[in-house]
C-alpha cells in the first residue's frame, strides 16, 4: 500500500453493499423508512476499507478509499435510539474539544460512559456466549436420533 503524506486526506466512498444494514433493521423500521422519507434510524456500524484508488505523482486527483459496512446493529426502541444519539453527541463534543471543530459543548466527553450506563442491563459477551452454548446443547439433546 502506498503511504500518503500527512496533509493528504483520502476521500471516502461507501460501496453499494448494504446487506448488514438490511439484516439489522426490523421490518417495521424498513417500512417506516420507506413510508416516511427523511425519517431516521440510529445504528452502530463497523466500516472496513475494501479497496483504494491511488494516484501518480503530480496527478491532481484525490486518493480514494472504498468502505463497506461489515457489521451493523440498529436501535430497536426509543431508549436505545436515545442512548446512541447521546453517544454520538458525546463523540462529537470530543472531536470539537480535540480541535477538529471550533465550539465546546457541555456534558460527558466519553461515549462509553453513556453506553455503559444505558446498556448496563444488556447481556455481556460472556453471557451471550453461554446462552448460545446452552442453546446448542438443548438443540443437540432434542434432536431426533
| Alpha-carbon gap, residue 138 to 140, rounded angstroms | 5
- What integer best gives the mean pLDDT of the chain? 80
Of the given ranges (66-75, 108-117, 119-128), which has the lowest mean pLDDT?
Answer: 108-117
* 51, pLDDT greater than 50: yes
| Mean per-residue pLDDT, 39-68 | 84
Residues in CB range of 100: below 8 A, 6 or more apart: none
Q: For the sheet containing 43-53, what is the strand order?
A: 11-14, 64-74, 43-53
What is the spatial distance between Cα 73 and Cα 75, in angstroms, rounded to a whole number?
Answer: 7
Between the alpha carbon of residue 25 and those of residues 19, 77, 122, 132, the distances in Å are 10, 12, 19, 22
Cell triple for residue 92?
A: 462529537
| % of the chain with per-residue pLDDT over 90 | 30
Rounded Cα–Cα distance for residues 83 and 116 (Å): 10
Does residue 134 or residue 99 have the better pLDDT? 134
**What pTM value is reported for the model?**
0.62
d(CA 118, CA 114): 6
| pLDDT single digits (tens) 79-95 | 999 999 988 888 887 77
- pLDDT of residue 122 exceeding 70, the answer is yes
* Contact indicator for 41, 25 with CB cutoff of 8 Å: yes
Question: What are the grid coordinates assigned to 28, written together?
Answer: 417495521
Q: Per-domain residue ranges for the chain?
A: 9-74, 77-145
pLDDT recorded at residue 129: 84
Amino acid at each position: 500500500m502506498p503511504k500518503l503524506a500527512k496533509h493528504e486526506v483520502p476521500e471516502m466512498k461507501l460501496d453499494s453493499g448494504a446487506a448488514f444494514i438490511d439484516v439489522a433493521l426490523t421490518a417495521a423500521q424498513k417500512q417506516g423508512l420507506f413510508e416516511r422519507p427523511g425519517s431516521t434510524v440510529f445504528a452502530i456500524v463497523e466500516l472496513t476499507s475494501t479497496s483504494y484508488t491511488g494516484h501518480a505523482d503530480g496527478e491532481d486527483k484525490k486518493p480514494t478509499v472504498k468502505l463497506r459496512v461489515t457489521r451493523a446493529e440498529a436501535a430497536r426502541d426509543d431508549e436505545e435510539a436515545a442512548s446512541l444519539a447521546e453517544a454520538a453527541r458525546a463523540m462529537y463534543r470530543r472531536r470539537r474539544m480535540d480541535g477538529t471543530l471550533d465550539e465546546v459543548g457541555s456534558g460527558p466527553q466519553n461515549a462509553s460512559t453513556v453506553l455503559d450506563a444505558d446498556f448496563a442491563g444488556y447481556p455481556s459477551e460472556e453471557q451471550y456466549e453461554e446462552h448460545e452454548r446452552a442453546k446448542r446443547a438443548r438443540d443437540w439433546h432434542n434432536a431426533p436420533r
